[in-house]
Structure 1
């Protein structure tokens, strides 16, 4: 993984998470703003999938468990669509908060993926 790309992803996910939590606690239901913020997080995760496929081919292999990394990445890719699906089914202020918590969970997962890729020694 690339450090600057990881920091962009963590920052984007944290901003989206805080935005959704604040909007939800303010009583707003899911809207284009909250759903769009999670769409940006999902777009970042797709870029991360492509980067994770290309990186080992260019001489940047992971130092940790490749299986553990891919389980985190696939799980992270599934979290935002699941949260948006749930939010669009329920359409309450709490579903907006749930989208925020999902985005914050993705931020933690992206940072953990970076740790698996770079810090651990097999």
Structure 2
């Protein structure tokens, strides 16, 4: 697993969580700029998914098992798009709060992925 990519994704997710959390605090829904930031975080998660699958295909083994690792990879990839979809359905401050919560979940999933790989 690429540690630099994991750290970059975690930092980006926490920055998104802070930004959307601040928007929720100010009683604002998600705006176009928030969705651009969610797209950037999603692209980083896609890159991590591809890198993880390539490493598995090359024969590298996670410390706690392939199935668990793949499940966490897929979950981390789907977290922010799911939160974005829910924020579109809820065009109030709670949409921003949903994205903030999803981004925090992604950061926690990244820590767990690092642990599963053997970090």
- Per the TM superposition, whether the score is higher than 0.5 is yes
1:61 deviates by 2.8
Separation in 2, partners of 1:4, 1:71? 21
The answer on 1:90 being equivalent to 2:85 is: no
Residue in 2 aligned with 1:10? 10
Separation in 1, partners of 2:10, 2:47? 13
The answer on 1:64 being equivalent to 2:60 is: no
- Could you tell me which runs of 5 or more consecutive residues in structure 2 were left unpaired when the two chains were aligned: none
Write the mapping of 1:1-122 to structure 2, written as runs, cut at 5 A.
1-58=1-58, 60-119=60-119
Separation in 2, partners of 1:116, 1:39? 26
Separation in 1, partners of 2:56, 2:66? 11
Separation in 2, partners of 1:57, 1:81? 26
Separation in 2, partners of 1:47, 1:87? 24
Higher alpha-carbon deviation: 60-69 or 94-103? 60-69
1:25 deviates by 0.9
Change in CA separation of 1:64 and 1:15 when aligned onto 2, cut-off 3 Å: same
1:28 deviates by 1.3
Change in CA separation of 1:70 and 1:57 when aligned onto 2, cut-off 3 Å: closer
- Could you tell me which runs of 5 or more consecutive residues in structure 1 were left unpaired when the two chains were aligned: none
Separation in 1, partners of 2:93, 2:65? 39
Separation in 2, partners of 1:81, 1:30? 13
